């Protein structure tokens, strides 16, 4: 799994002119799932996301987590995080998991994160043409890949 995590002051997802998810202060998380991903990857990544200390404390240092600031998560599925451009200019997505694997894992991530932060997770719609709006705070953007845990 790969996640691009952005600290935001606001973010929202629009599908067919309807808002499917919106947050104020918190994290916009773009998540890509590949065939090789397991439930262990999911658990590890959910723990990392929920525990990230990337919000500013009173001294302006990144020492606070979502729980410390009562923040929210907008979780968006994004298979293009596994795009490769080794050949030519058109990305290939062969590493991205197909829907029959990716959808249940995405739904499990929503549930796991909700349990960890004790809040409802805002989402997009898997496989839809989504329009994401955000105001990146910092900017702070973190990339995490479960295949690079060490």
Q: Annotated catalytic sites, by residue?
A: 80
For tokens 């329009």, name the residue: 131
Helix axes 99-117, 39-51, angle to 10 degrees: 40
Cα gap 19→54, rounded to integer Å: 27
Cα gap 29→37, rounded to integer Å: 17
Kindly tell me the sign of the dihedral angle through the C-alpha atoms of 13, 14, 15, 20.
Answer: positive
Extract the tokens encoding 10.
Answer: 């606001």
Terminal Cα-to-Cα distance of the chain (whole angstroms): 15
């Amino acid at each position: 799994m790969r996640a691009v995590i952005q600290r935001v002051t606001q973010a929202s997802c629009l599908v067919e002119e309807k808002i499917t998810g919106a947050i104020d202060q918190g994290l916009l998380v773009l998540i890509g799932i590949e065939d090789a991903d397991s439930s262990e990857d999911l658990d590890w990544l959910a723990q990392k996301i929920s525990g990230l200390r990337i919000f500013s404390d009173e001294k302006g240092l990144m020492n606070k987590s979502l729980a410390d600031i009562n923040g929210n998560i907008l979780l968006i599925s994004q298979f293009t995080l596994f795009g490769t451009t080794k050949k030519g200019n058109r990305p290939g997505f062969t590493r991205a998991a197909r829907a029959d694997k990716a959808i249940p894992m995405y739904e499990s991530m929503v549930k796991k994160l909700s349990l960890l932060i004790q809040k409802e997770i805002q989402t997009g719609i898997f496989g839809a043409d989504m329009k994401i709006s955000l105001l990146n705070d910092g900017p702070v953007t973190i990339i995490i890949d479960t295949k690079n845990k060490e």
